[in-house]
Amino acid sequence: AHEAAEAARHGAEETLAEHRERQTEAETDHQRWVARAEALTLALDEARARSGVERLAELDGVLGTLLDLVSIDDGWEAAFEAAAGEALSAVVVESPDIARSALTTLSNGDTAGAVLALGMRSDAAIQPSGLRSHVRGTTNAVDQLLDTLIGHIAIVDGGWADAAEAAMASPGIVVVTKSGDRFAPNGWRIGGGSAGATGAALAE
């Protein structure tokens, strides 16, 4: 009976050690997700503050910032932000009519700002195998807006030197890299950190 009790005790101690190890891993994972959520919240709040969306909060048809309305494949966040450029600081609204109302509100408040209207048609060429395939909108209308904003932008697999070569070979196009470098007719830029902040990432 003593030997059986000792064997049971050893088994219980091993089980306890396994559960404690799992608990430690779970606590570490929890802390990582909490820190991630805090960083995403801060980044989204900063994007919303830059866009001035709060100044238009009482206007019907205001949907938020572009980052609130997209989901991006892991690792492609910096490329998307480089491609979207100034559009990241604009407020997305449901229609051109609402866009006019939003601009009127901003103008009456003597406030600068930018809007992106859904429902605008575009003949921009889309590169299905490029950056566009790694970004999705929350609605079909947002997807159409993404077609206009980034569907024509080329992405290179290499670094900034490869992107520069591509830009020089085709001076009229916009080229970005996965790390966030951007080469456009109006200027070249390397680097561009990204927190990967989107509404979808925060919800996850």
pLDDT exceeds cutoff 80 at 160: yes
Structure confidence at residue 122 (pLDDT): 66
Write the CB contacts of 132 (distance below 8 Å, at least 6 apart in sequence): 126, 146, 147, 150, 151, 153
What is the layout of strands, in order, in the sheet containing 91-93? 62-65, 91-93, 115-117
**What's the pLDDT tens digit per position in 47-81?**
777 777 778 878 889 888 888 888 889 889 889 98
DSSP bridge pairs for 137: 70
pLDDT exceeds cutoff 70 at 195: no
Mean pLDDT of 36-45: 79
Structure confidence at residue 100 (pLDDT): 92
Mean pLDDT of 123-129: 59
Q: What is the pTM of this model?
A: 0.72
pLDDT exceeds cutoff 90 at 36: no
DSSP bridge pairs for 188: 183
Structure confidence at residue 175 (pLDDT): 92
Structure confidence at residue 43 (pLDDT): 74
Structure confidence at residue 126 (pLDDT): 61
Structure confidence at residue 18 (pLDDT): 94
Mean pLDDT of 191-200: 65
Write the CB contacts of 193 (distance below 8 Å, at least 6 apart in sequence): 78, 180
Mean pLDDT of 176-180: 89
pLDDT exceeds cutoff 90 at 146: yes
pLDDT exceeds cutoff 60 at 172: yes
The fraction of the chain above a pLDDT of 90, given in percent, is 36
The fraction of the chain above a pLDDT of 70, given in percent, is 91
- How do 115-117 and 154-156 pair as beta strands? unpaired
3-state secondary structure of 44: helix
pLDDT exceeds cutoff 70 at 194: no
Mean pLDDT of 25-31: 92
